[in-house]
Amino acid sequence: MAIDTSKAFGQSYIEGFRKTFRPEESPFAAASQKIADQIEAAKLKKEANQATINEMYGRVNVPTGTQMYGDDYAKAKEMTEFLTDEATLEKYAESPEMQREYARLVQQANAFVAESQDYYKTTYGTSLDPQKGNYLGHVARQNSPNYYENQGQQDNRTDYDDTFALLDTPSHDTGSFSVENGQFVFTQGGQTKTLSDVDHTNIDVFMPDLERTAFVSPSDF
């Protein structure tokens, strides 16, 4: 019977290779390790980047429409939607410098939200008190006929509801918010404005315009 020398040789070669093969000495070992290191580094970078994005996202004070007038809320909503957008977060997470710029934008937006909420609380009011010079005070007086007349006065103002509607209606062009030179800008009435152009200083916006109409007691003389 003839011996299959090719098969015997093949088995002998394989066994010899197994005994002498050292994976760490393979010419492919270094390349394989480099690829593995790159994959691990990319994984760690992605995890760190996601942690940064989560931390950035958590800084944004997302407003609700029940705490501010509609005009302010529309502006705040567009800003916070921009700041919490995935593409925005990924862009600003790229470097420490971009993260600092993002932090400044968040500071602007959060300050605007807080200022808008304070303005709403002051001028809209928190209770139906007819003595208050805010919008709820006006509503309370509407529910109390002749409130001022019974005190010998009259309120010459008739624009409470129109003023409220003005404050509660978005005044800027929808979708016009952008970032220029580190500031939020938007278009309103054909003009480019910044957040500093929004007026929250008129806290007497719903103050009644009273006029004495009668003397109701000796002390009034």
221 residues of the chain, pLDDT tens digit each: 455 555 565 566 566 656 665 655 555 666 555 665 556 555 545 555 788 888 888 889 888 878 999 999 999 999 999 999 999 999 999 899 999 999 999 999 999 999 999 999 999 999 999 999 999 999 999 999 899 999 999 999 999 999 999 999 999 998 899 999 999 999 998 899 999 999 999 999 999 999 999 765 555 55
Residue 48, pLDDT score: 58
**Domain with 150 in it:** 64-220
Is the separation of the CB atoms in 71 and 170 below 8 Å?
yes
Q: Which has the closest alpha carbon to 69: 125, 24, 20?
A: 125
Q: Does residue 176 sit within a domain?
A: yes
Is the separation of the CB atoms in 150 and 138 below 8 Å?
no
Residue 96, pLDDT score: 92
Q: Does residue 206 sit within a domain?
A: yes
Number of domains in the chain: 1
Residue 145, pLDDT score: 86
Q: Which has the closest alpha carbon to 206: 117, 116, 134?
A: 134
Q: Does residue 55 sit within a domain?
A: no
Q: Tokens 């309103």 — which residue? A: 188
